[in-house]
Amino acid sequence: MPQRRPQIVLPEIFQAQSGLYLPLSVQATRPAVVPPELQPHPGLFVVGRPPSVLDQIFSYATQEELGLEGIPLDVILEALRLVPVWPALRMLCRYQRDLWPVRTDQRGQLEMLNRWYGEDTEFSKSARAFMGASASHMVFSEQQLFALQKLLILHSPEGNPDEALSPTQNQALMVALASVPGSVLGLHEAQGLEAGEPINGSTDDFWLRLFIGHGGLIGGGSDAYELARAHDLFEVIAKSEPAQQHHDAVPIDEWLKEAYGLTFLEMQAIGFALFAGSNTGVSEGNPVLINSTYFEKTALADKAQQGLDALSEHLDWYRSSFGSPGDDPRRLAFEITPFLQRPAIRDPGGSVMPIAPRALGTWLGASGTYYRLFDIARSKGSPARKQFTRFHGFLVERHGRIVVETACQAPRSTVLWVAGRVHGEVCYRASEGDRVTPDIAVDLGRDLVLIEITGSRATARSIVDADLDSIRTDIEKLLEDKIRQLGDRIEDLRSGVAVLPGVDLEFVDRIWPLMVSSEGLFQTPPLWDYLRTDALNALAQPKVQPITLLDLRDLEQIGRASCRERV
């Protein structure tokens, strides 16, 4: 079948003998064949608005933005002192659960707005207008609910756990909920600005602090990837032969049993049971408080109380852990670490209730498990802390390599597969001493992908306090040092000092550097500008393409997409 050549098809236009294209009113003829020099090369074209960091940013509404009068924090606290904490927390735990699937879904938020505040109230009408102004406008946020839960714990009387709120108390709680964005989250001090400093005049340092100091509230929270990664890291890989032979191997189950009386799998089982039994994963009805009797007919009946103790704490523990955040507006707005450490609150009778899906999911996921083990290691002294940090880095690198190897495996339905050969670290000798090539290399013939993975994480002083010095130190540790290291290794490969099996750099047209971290920093123009001032210069080498920054979830999603394409 002959190949069709591209043609220009324009209504009411023809090509004259002179070669000019003229209106049909002059003379008509056949469509013109596109000259060879104008014919497009085959390629992929995507028509649409290019992606932007703004696609990932959503705005909450303060009362002032809704055209309503703001309520000062001291007035909110005075009202909350009349609201008993237990029935109020039950209500807010349900709101956290209901909000979880619609955090960035305006339709779902509208349903919540109408259910919580009614359709005809002044607040609801103003909120609907606010959301109608932009697809990125939301009325409710997790941060808003976490802040109000914290205020209740710190300032409200305990009351009777079995009693319901009176109409007056319910009204006070709902007014407080609507007021928190402006009275707590919107304070200049909470955002790290000096009082009265105009936001439009902020420097790049401010934007770094704003987007990195997010309090752990960005991203999708825990999900299937996070839960599966926790099992792979701390149960499968940690117990594999290579891990057991690693010089920094840590006895994870032994440490957990010393601290909690449970193994990793036992803790996971009780956490999942709490998630199911408390109705955290359903959309109807109120959350259910459960106690150790819920496990009576299970294999964990004799360990249930230990598990619930590991998951939950009494009010006084949270009060002690949060301290007096009234003196620190930023911590009042952004600190949720105690909720992540103990994601269920325990009433005087011993029954427990999950605080929020994000809290319980984080506890079950890779991040929560990491921090539990890190706290245990820290309690054992500096050598144990450093040992665990190195071992965790090994686990993360091993997990990343397994993901890439799985994505590059040949499908069962074919004999020939040339997608790419995967190489781990290769030791070599350089003038500076012994070195290793990047953690993962994927040989794609004309393309070579080099992946460096880090298990390090940003510190609380960066994430919660938005401390600029800590942010700079964390960027140095998480990105800049690793990018420079990647640049050095690429230079060694290009010069022949380092060699990958079967890879001849002379025949490689493009080298693709990838940086993968356990928890990604929110990628924004200020972050990229910060990196361009120094670190990215290490990659300014022939054949080297722009670097890609990923976190483990990104890498897992890419691997999953690759596997699905081969099914």
- Asked whether the predicted pLDDT for residue 274 surpasses 80, the reply is yes
Work out the number of other CB atoms within 10 angstroms of the CB of residue 289. Answer: 22
Q: Which residue has the tokens 């999953």?
A: 560
Alpha carbons 69 and 337: distance in angstroms, whole number: 32
- Asked whether the predicted pLDDT for residue 191 surpasses 70, the reply is no
Give the pLDDT confidence of 194-208 residue by residue, as tens digits: 433 444 444 577 778
**Which residues are CB-contacts of 514 (< 8 A; sequence separation ≥ 6)?**
449, 450, 451, 452, 547, 548, 549, 550
Higher pLDDT, 412 or 371: 371
First-to-last alpha carbon distance for the chain, in angstroms, is 31
Give the pLDDT confidence of 430-451 residue by residue, as tens digits: 988 999 999 999 998 889 999 9
Question: Strand 510-517 and strand 447-454: pairing?
Answer: parallel
pTM of the model: 0.85
Count the residues in the chain: 567
Report phi then psi at 386, rounded to 5. Answer: -65, -35
- Asked whether the predicted pLDDT for residue 3 surpasses 80, the reply is no
User: What pLDDT was estimated at residue 285?
Assistant: 76
The one-letter amino acid code at 309 reads D
Give the pLDDT confidence of 547-557 residue by residue, as tens digits: 999 999 999 98
